[in-house]
Structure 1
Amino acid sequence: MKELHASCLCGAVALTLPDQFDYMGNCHCSECRKFSGGDYASVGGLDGNKVTIMKGEEAISRYRKSAETTLAFCRHCGSSLFSQKSSSGKINLRLGVLDDVPSQQPAFHLFVGSKAPWHQIGDDCPQFDTRPPV
């Protein structure tokens, strides 16, 4: 299986992970917009134990957003890296930090009920007001 590399803007943090996400999607919730600084956040979900921090563990700052979710970012350049669920260990990697092209692409939009009012979704991927049904 192909390995993907990811890094922050300044290069202090480097990650590796398999090119096999459980899902890829675009989240339009206000929290992801604030964490990413964009109209939405493109994320890829995978088990946290599949992500290896190759460099810069000490450069990763973590913000506990809630009892369930911790946000990770580079303390030097501020790049948003990933969020992690405490109950499952699942990571939602911010796809913008990938240095390589993954074999998958985002397949849905979630929380479009709270998307930025100026943003127009321009693809045919399924859209969900909140989360997709299980």
Structure 2
Amino acid sequence: MNNGKTYQGNCFCGTVQFTVSGEPAGMGYCHCDSCRSWSAGPVNAFTLWKPEAVQITRGGNNIGTYNKTDRSHRKWCKTCGGHLFTEHPGWGLIDVYAAAIPDFPYQAGVHVHYQETKMPIKDGLPKMKDLPKEMGGSGVSLAE
């Protein structure tokens, strides 16, 4: 996807608005316990972007942050609690939740932390035990 387009995103109530531009570094589904707990769902659809591709256009002072670990800085709207994105400083990437950018043509390419899944998905995509090697994981793939 080399579209050079800009997509609008926002929190649940619209107080916080942002754009993502260009193309993401990756897209997929995360099955880890942290993402499931944070999203209150069985799986989290992610889009990974370089920080310069993500711009807060409104409500930046209304963004809350929670760091369970130094690896993930989770962001949400202080008004509605709507989840926005997670900064991953060690990777130099921001995970913008796919649902927060409704017009973006999301296409997952991988499942990560699949060993923790609570909802097996048979879609033909690679299923990583944890993360790809280049992101600090084992790089081990699991059977679908």
TM-score, normalisation: structure 1: 0.90
- Work out which of the residue numbers 97, 104, 107 in structure 2 matches 1:105: 107
Does residue 33 (structure 1) correspond to residue 36 (structure 2)? The answer is yes
- Greater length-normalized contact order (CA 8 Å, ≥ 6 residues apart): 1
- Count of matched residue pairs: 131
Q: 1:74 to 1:128 in 2, by over 3 A?
A: same
Aligned-residue CA RMSD (Å)? 1.4
Partner residue of 2:128? 128
Aligned 8 A contact 2:30 2:46 in 1: yes
**What SS does structure 2 have at the residue aligned with 1:35?**
helix
Q: Unpaired runs of 5+ in structure 2?
A: 135-144
CA separation in 2, counterparts of 1:121 and 1:26? 10
Runs of 4+ in 1 over 6 A off after TM superposition: none
TM-score of the two chains, using structure 2 as the length reference: 0.85
1:48 partnered with 2:13 = no
Contiguous gaps of at least 5 residues in structure 1: none
* Offset, 1:99: 2.8
Instruction: Output the CA distance in 1 between the equivalents of 2:41 and 2:103.
Output: 21
| Equivalent position SS for 2:57 | strand
Query: Given the alignment of the two structures, is residue 3 of structure 1 paired with residue 9 of structure 2, yes or no?
Result: no
Specify the alignment match of 1:114 in structure 2.
116
Deviation track 1:71-95 (CA, whole Å, cap 9, x = no partner) reads: 0011111111111122344101111
